[in-house]
Structure 1
């Protein structure tokens, strides 16, 4: 028995000292809470472990902001939790990407839609134009009117919940747009190939498609934006490789996988529609 205890002692000591395993949602809630978290480093890895040295993300967020965490997706190896920050005047989202290793779940990356800070000043500038300058703007931009540009900029910089509300409010028009794109057979049934740019140009130039895109404050339809060749992406906007829009894919098994270096979030909206963001 004495020798058995000697053999078991290192294992027992390690088991007692090892931090308890926590699910991604609980780690996220601890990490964005306004109070500190002494055990934080036990649940971080990769780039986040180098970024969060002394403070949690929650300690760096203004105290008055409400924080809501939602598990968006999880499999055996990865998970994504969306975090909404809200106060009386603003609402914004970011996404926590987790990976699972031999010791449990670890937070590895934090992502959000880039460059959205450019939107509000542009909206303020455009909405401050006098009527004569608005008319002049419309003459210079016949393909994207003043009203469309303001609406598109506002939607691009909106919180996820507001984009989802926009989709639900205009679901009928979104379905009309989808049917028109499908009926036009602009895109080949195979995955995107050399002719894809021409097919995309033809789809967006179609008068019925163009009118619905503008009515819904969408910039274009494509199959290339979310790295899912079989999906239709109705792009709201974005800068460089960071974009936001609505994705249509009725086959769940054909959806792209969320990752911190590609599709940073994919929120289901029902009937094959999703809100997506890339980075």
Structure 2
């Protein structure tokens, strides 16, 4: 009897220890895991413990796959700060082929919780402008271009002084409206040209006064080069006292898309306490950013 009792007792002790350890092991679900769980097609019944703010207090605001019927999702962890804050990119791919990027801010409070959802705003206005441009008859375009060339007052028609301007506007708006993966691919396809512009901008910045902390437009003489890359302008970034180079694609009001070159990572703009809604590392000091 004794010979059989001892191994059973040992097994019982091991089981008790194992169960107690399960209770004290820290939660292993990362921000990406929690985001995927919230938007699962069959969400967890205890989903509220992973939501914060209005999401946690109002049932009508509980996010989930129900908000995007028939859609599929792609995920990317953009940032995780001190195991307390994180930003997750959720790309929603609808059945009609449209892809939209959303940015989920997560905060750690025992478990990771969703605190905010952002996306590029006012895209409807850009889409309407794109459709209007695409539908313009050539005769009407010629009239606009002629009027812009004759205008001496510098009014809004100046954006269409040639067919090159027209094609730039078309390509520029289309790029702004593209999903993040496509915008990043545009950069990668033209990386050598972007690096040449970056080097010229840094050289020009070196010649400028280091005491000037305001935004300063750079390499204006190279405008034909960067417009071929669908870049609206190149300037210093005011978020970091003019140390980074901002390759602005465009947007409406304060909803902007662009590429940022950051020479030193300590000069990265604050992702959680400014106007940025996303920042995606593309390698070698280059980042895709969006603001709102």
Same fold at TM > 0.5: yes
**Which one scores higher on RCO, CA 8 angstroms, separation ≥ 6?**
1
Q: Is the 8 A contact 2:86 2:105 kept in 1?
A: yes
Change in 2 beyond 3 A, CA 1:21/1:121: same
Separation in structure 2 between the aligned mates of residue 260 and residue 129 of structure 1, nearest angstrom? 42
TM-score by length of structure 2 reads 0.78
TM-score by length of structure 1 reads 0.81
Alignment of 1:112-261 (within 5 A): 112-139=119-146, 140=148, 141-143=157-159, 145-185=165-205, 188=208, 190=210, 192-193=212-213, 196-197=214-215, 199-200=216-217, 203=218, 206-208=220-222, 210-224=223-237, 227-229=239-241, 230-259=243-272
Separation in structure 2 between the aligned mates of residue 182 and residue 34 of structure 1, nearest angstrom? 48
Q: Which residues of structure 1 form unaligned runs of 5+?
A: 1-14
In the alignment of these two chains, the number of paired residues is: 254
**How much has 1:33 moved relative to structure 2?**
2.1
Q: What is residue 35 of structure 1 aligned with on the other side?
A: 42
Change in 2 beyond 3 A, CA 1:166/1:50: farther
Change in 2 beyond 3 A, CA 1:55/1:36: farther
State yes or no: 1:73 paired with 2:93.
Answer: no
State yes or no: 1:86 paired with 2:81.
Answer: no
Separation in structure 1 between the aligned mates of residue 290 and residue 58 of structure 2, nearest angstrom? 23
RMSD of equivalent CA atoms? 2.6
**How much has 1:165 moved relative to structure 2?**
1.1
Greater gyration radius:
2
Q: Which residues of structure 2 form unaligned runs of 5+?
A: 1-21, 149-156
Per-residue displacement from partner, 1:179-230 (whole Å, max 9, x unpaired)? 222233377464753xx35x32xx26x222x1123111111122236x2332
